Amino acid sequence: MRQTARITSHNPTVAEVDLGAFHENVRNIKKRIHDDSMLMAVIKTNAYGHGVVPIGKEAVKAGADRLGVTAVEEGAALRESGVDVPIHLLGSITFEQAGDVIEYELTPFVASTELAKTISAEAIKRNVTLPLHVKMDTGLHRFGMEPGEVLSFCETCYDLPGISWEGIYTHFSSADEGEWEKTEQEYQLFHDTVAELESNGFHFPIKHVAASTITLERQDMHLGMVRPGIALFGYAPAPRQRKMVRLKPVMRLRSKLVRVRELPPETPVGYGGSYVTKKKEKIAVVPIGLGDGYHLALSNKGQMLVRGQRAGIVGSISLDQTLIDVTNIDGVSEGDEVIVMGRQGDNEILAPQIADWMGSNVDEVLASLMMRVQREYI
Ligand SMILES: *Cc1c(COP(=O)(O)O)cnc(C)c1O
C-alpha cells in the first residue's frame, strides 16, 4: 500500500462488495438455525474472495458467534484488526505453526496424537490453555481421524495439559448433491462415535456437522453449531435451496472498456487467432484477465454486460485483458462501464452462470479473484 499511496485513480477493474447484502444474508440464515445452535460464519479462502477482514467484522456485527478460516494468516489478520470472537482454523496446521496459532488465540482442529502433543507443549511454554476440536472423517476422506481411532486417541490425549477439548466435528462428503442416504449414514457414524466417547467419559461440549446445505435444509442436524460458508455470500449450494431463504449476491465485478475498434471481416483476434471476425465487427478490450483470476476456460465462451446488453468474449483471454464483441450494442464507446459479474440495467450475470461457462462451481468463480483486484466496500 505504501508504495502506491500516490496513485489517484486505480485500475478500472473493481470488485464491489456489498456489506449490507452480506449482513442481511447472515441475519436471514441465522433466523433458520436451531435455537440451541451457534453460528460460525465460514469466511475461509479470503472470505471466498470478498476480503477476510471487512467480511469478518461484518459477520460479527450481524450476529455470528464465531468465525471459521483455513489459513493461520487469515486468523492472524482478523485478530490484528480487533476481532475477538473465537476463530476456528478449518484447514490443517503444521507442527511449526502451533506457536503462532496459540499466540493469535486461534482454535485449530486436531486429528493426530503428534499434533495434540505439540500444541500441548507449546501451550505449556506460554502458560495458557488452548481450546481444541477433534475432527473426524466420516466419508470425505480429506482431513480428520478415522472414527475407529478416536477412542484410543482420547485415551492418550484427552488429559494432556495446556489444552481443553471444546468440540468435535465432521464435514459431510455429499450433502450439496442431495445424497441424503449417504449423508445420514455419515451423520449416524458421527453420532454413534461421539456417544461411545461420552460413555467412556470423553466429553466434547460443541458438536457440529452443518455447512451451508445442512444449515439450510436439516435443522435436525444443527447440533451445537452450524458452519455455513458460500450461502453467506449469496449463493445457496444447490438450486433446490433457492426458495428456502432470501440470499443476495454480495460481489459485483465491474470494469471499463479501454479500447473499442472496428475490424474488417476475416480478422483473427487475440493470441493464436482462436476467433476470426465473420463480418465487420466492433471488438472491445476489457482490462481483466488470467492474472485477476478470470479463467482461460471463459475464452470464446463467457459474456459480459455493456449498456445493459450481453457481449460475448472473443479470442483467448490473456494475462491482463479480455476481448468482447460489442458489434450489436448501440452507442458503445471507450470508457463505458462493463459488468463482469452482477446486474446492469435489466440484465444480470451471476456466479452460477460464469461457473457453467467455465465448467466449474461458484466457489471457484468467487475465490479465484486475486488480491490485485481492488475491493470496494459499500
Ligand atoms: C468450507 C467449509 C464449510 C463451509 O462450506 P459451505 O459449503 O461453503 O457452506 C464448513 N465446514 C468446513 C469444515 C469447511 O471446510
pLDDT digits 0-9 by tens, 21-53:
999 999 999 999 999 999 999 999 999 999 999
The rounded Å distance from CA 211 to ligand 1 centre is 5
Q: What is the pLDDT of residue 1?
A: 43
Q: What is the pLDDT of residues 203-254, one digit of tens each?
A: 999 999 999 999 999 999 999 999 999 999 999 999 999 899 999 999 999 9
The CA-CA-CA angle for residues 74, 32, 207, to 5°, reads 60
The one catalytic residue among 61, 271, 278, 280: 271
- The answer to whether 266 and 247 have CB atoms below 8 angstroms apart is no
The closest residue, in CA terms, to atom 15 on ligand 1 is 90
The rounded percent of the chain whose pLDDT value lies above 70 is 99
271 is written with which cell numbers?
493470441
Determine the distance from the C-alpha atom of residue 311 to the mean position of all C-alpha atoms in its chain, rounded to a whole number: 28
Identify the CA nearest to 104 among candidates 57, 59, 69: 69
- Rounded to the nearest 10 degrees, the angle between the axes of helix 147-157 and helix 113-126 is 30
The rounded Å distance from CA 237 to ligand 1 centre is 11
Q: What is the pLDDT of residues 8-24, one digit of tens each?
A: 888 999 999 999 999 99
- The answer to whether 18 and 250 have CB atoms below 8 angstroms apart is yes
Per DSSP, the residues of 355-377 read HHHHTS-HHHHHHT--TTSEEEE
- DSSP 8-state symbol, 134: E
Say which residue the cell 480478422 belongs to: 267
Amino acid at 205: P
Per DSSP, the residues of 21-68 read HHHHHHHHHHHTS-TT-EEEEE-HHHHHTT-HHHHHHHHHHTT-SEEE
Q: What is the pLDDT of residue 69?
A: 98
Domains and CATH numbers, the chain: 19-236 (3.20.20.10), 251-377 (2.40.37.10)
CA distances for 50 relative to 121, 271, 307, 367, 371, angstroms: 36, 31, 26, 8, 10
Q: Of the residues 67, 92, 171, which should be mutated to test ligand 1's pocket, given the most ligand atoms within 8 Å of the CB?
A: 171
Tell which atom from ligand 1 comes closest to the C-alpha of 171: 13
> What is the pTM assigned to this prediction?
0.96
Indicate if the pLDDT at residue 103 is higher than 50. yes
The closest residue, in CA terms, to atom 3 on ligand 1 is 211
Q: How far apart are CA 346 and CA 343, in angstroms?
A: 7
